[in-house]
């Protein structure tokens, strides 16, 4: 049951993220979101909107997020316009010393959405960064190895 519940949360997160990306596409890269309205239209709780914004719309992933609280409050999300090389260097710098599988996948999806990677390259990178591939690496070292692999793969994409 717990696995099923997590799968439902992931699907809802994917729906929320796609709805926000659609809004950004329709509004030339910048959208004002009213959290409660979006939650109501998607059939989720407002905290789900917060979770998606904080995990998938970060500066490292190419977004600026501003919020205003109160009755007329909103969250404004804007895509940062930058070339592929600059974006990849920002991502490399954002990775740090450790990278978990979920964050790596979110970064790959974002780069794919922005056209910085082909689907084929993204799939190969995801396979290389998977827990299955890193199964022989000690658990406590796995995220450090994943970070090094990811950064080195991105450096080769930039040349």
Encode pLDDT of 78-93 as tens digits: 988 777 788 788 888 8
Higher pLDDT, 16 or 3: 16
Q: Residue 55 — pLDDT band, cuts 50, 70, 90?
A: confident
pLDDT attached to residue 7: 46
Work out the angle between the directed axes of helices 46-56 and 35-42 (0-180°, nearest 10). 110
What is the mean predicted confidence (pLDDT) over 52-57? 87
Residue 5 has pLDDT above 70, yes or no: no
Which pLDDT does position 6 carry in this prediction? Answer: 46
Contact in structure between 44 and 51 (CB atoms under 8 Å):
no
Q: Are 24 and 75 in contact (CB under 8 A)?
A: no
CATH 3.30.56.130 region(s) of the chain? Answer: 2-79
pLDDT of residue 146: 96
* pLDDT tens for each residue of 100-146: 998 888 888 888 887 888 999 999 999 999 999 999 999 999 999 99
| Residues 2-79, CATH architecture | 2-Layer Sandwich (3.30)
Distance CA 45, CA 63 (A): 23
DSSP alpha helices (H): ranges in 43-100? Answer: 46-56, 84-95
CB-CB contact of 64 with 78 (8 Å): yes
CA 137 to chain centre: 25
């Amino acid at each position: 049951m717990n696995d099923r519940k997590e799968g439902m949360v992931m699907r809802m997160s994917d729906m929320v993220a796609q709805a926000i990306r659609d809004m950004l596409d329709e509004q030339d890269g910048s959208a004002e979101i009213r959290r409660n309205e979006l939650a109501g239209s998607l059939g989720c709780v407002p905290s789900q909107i917060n979770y998606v914004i904080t995990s998938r719309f970060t500066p490292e992933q190419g977004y600026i997020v501003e919020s205003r609280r109160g009755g007329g409050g909103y969250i404004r999300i804007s895509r940062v316009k930058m070339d592929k090389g600059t974006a990849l260097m920002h991502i490399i710098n954002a990775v740090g010393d450790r990278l978990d599988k979920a964050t790596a996948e979110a970064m790959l999806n974002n780069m794919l959405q922005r056209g910085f990677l082909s689907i084929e390259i993204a799939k190969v990178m995801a396979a290389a960064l998977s827990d299955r591939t890193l199964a022989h690496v000690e658990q406590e070292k796995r995220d450090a190895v994943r970070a090094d692999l990811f950064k080195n793969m991105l450096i080769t994409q930039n040349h």
